[in-house]
């Protein structure tokens, strides 16, 4: 009988995408349960069908007011504690150096508790792990954790995903945080230049961006609000172009090359996992990396990324992936 392993990742779609190689490999050796936000239930059938998901929205993952303790759902937290302890997990693991994860591992009663200690959280861990040398991708944390569990993961550059033979370039202008959104007018010009090269382009966005795109003349813009809706869009993607977002990470593990426009985060930490992924790093800033907030009125690290720079990166990637030979029709110059 397989030992019962509890995996904790309480954050976004992109984080769960990066977790995927570990979850798939760990499932061959362990009976895996994932504690994650409810959208993990929608990813589970496609990417980790053997993994049990316990949905939980941790109050500290909210964008605003995350530490207003009087508003925390204490009843739900205590019910979660009982549910986790009833499972009698032999092992629990988190790949984040996050004391809150480590506390949950202890609270849930896992016998062995593996994690990367920080600010005193070693007291909650039985097996403290050492972070890989920086800069290191978040995936490398899972490689270290996997090695401690007897789960061997390949280097990131050796990962492979079944290739999707999509027909369209999907340009997605949304992101989980506004400070990660490249200006929409520049996305519009990128879409127009791609279409000048007779390439099929499908525009997608977050719901709050849809009116802007329609006013700009994009009548068929997609704004999926569910994971299945997003995956249906990504299934027809030959290439994904977008911000540092969950959608890009899902496209990568779904088998689609990606081009990511980074701003406040670091690609060496969070680049999508597809081996043919490419990216453009945001402009320098003394406060990078940032996750949720910008110290300036607007994120100049992202707004300083020019159309010409993005166009050069996209066309180079199109040449690398030989998109149905259509690279020869791409327009050149500033346009």
Span 274-316, pLDDT tens digits: 999 999 999 999 988 887 788 888 899 999 999 999 999 999 9
- Give the C-alpha separation, 9 to 64, whole Å: 20
Split at pLDDT 50, 70, 90, the class of 323 is low
Q: Which carries the bigger pLDDT value, residue 298 or residue 185?
A: 185
Chain mean pLDDT for the chain: 91
Three-state DSSP class for 86?
A: helix
pLDDT score, position 83: 95
Least confident of 70-74, 163-167, 320-324: 320-324
Average pLDDT of 15-44?
Answer: 97
User: In the structure encoding, which two tokens stand for residue 87, read together?
Assistant: 């499972």
pLDDT score, position 326: 42
- Give the C-alpha separation, 240 to 180, whole Å: 16
DSSP state of 283: P
Least confident of 36-50, 254-268, 281-295: 281-295
**Could you give the percent of the chain with pLDDT greater than 70?**
93
Average pLDDT of 187-199?
Answer: 95
Split at pLDDT 50, 70, 90, the class of 167 is confident
Decide if 271 contacts 289 (C-beta within 8 A).
no
DSSP string, 217-280: T-TT-B---SHHHHHHHHTTEEEEEEESSHHHHHHHHTT--EEEE-SSS-HHHH--S-TT-EEE
Query: Domains in the chain, please, with CATH?
Result: 4-158 (3.40.50.2000), 168-329 (3.40.50.2000)
**pTM attached to this predicted model:** 0.91
pLDDT score, position 72: 75
């Amino acid at each position: 009988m397989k030992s019962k392993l509890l995996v904790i990742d309480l954050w976004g779609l992109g984080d769960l995408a990066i977790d995927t190689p570990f979850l798939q490999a760990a499932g061959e050796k362990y009976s895996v349960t994932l504690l994650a936000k409810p959208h993990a239930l929608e990813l589970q059938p496609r990417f980790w069908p053997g993994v049990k998901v316990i949905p939980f929205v941790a109050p500290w993952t909210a964008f605003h007011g995350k530490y207003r303790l009087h508003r925390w759902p204490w009843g739900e937290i205590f019910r979660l504690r009982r549910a986790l302890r009833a499972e009698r997990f032999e092992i629990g693991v988190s790949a984040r150096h996050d004391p809150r994860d480590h506390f949950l591992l202890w609270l849930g009663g896992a016998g062995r508790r593996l994690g990367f200690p920080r600010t005193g959280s070693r007291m909650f861990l039985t097996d403290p792990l050492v972070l890989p040398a920086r800069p290191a991708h978040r995936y490398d944390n899972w490689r270290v954790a996997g090695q401690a569990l007897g789960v061997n993961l390949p280097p990131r550059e050796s990962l492979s995903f079944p290739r999707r033979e999509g027909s369209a370039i999907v340009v997605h202008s949304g992101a989980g945080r506004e400070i990660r959104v490249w200006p929409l007018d520049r996305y519009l010009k990128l879409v127009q230049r791609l279409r000048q090269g007779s390439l099929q382009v499908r525009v997608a966005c977050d719901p709050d961006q849809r009116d802007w795109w329609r006013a700009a003349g994009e009548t068929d813009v997609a704004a999926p609000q569910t994971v299945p809706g997003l995956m249906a869009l990504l299934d027809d993607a030959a290439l994904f172009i977008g911000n540092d977002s969950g959608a890009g990470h899902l496209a990568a593990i779904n088998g689609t090359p990606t081009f990511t426009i980074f701003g406040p985060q670091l690609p060496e930490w969070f680049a999508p996992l597809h081996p043919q992924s490419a990216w453009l790093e945001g402009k320098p800033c003394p406060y990078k990396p940032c996750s949720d907030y910008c110290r300036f009125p607007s994120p100049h690290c992202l707004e300083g990324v020019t159309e010409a720079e993005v166009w050069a990166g996209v066309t180079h990637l199109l040449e690398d992936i030989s998109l149905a030979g259509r690279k020869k029709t791409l327009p050149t110059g500033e346009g």
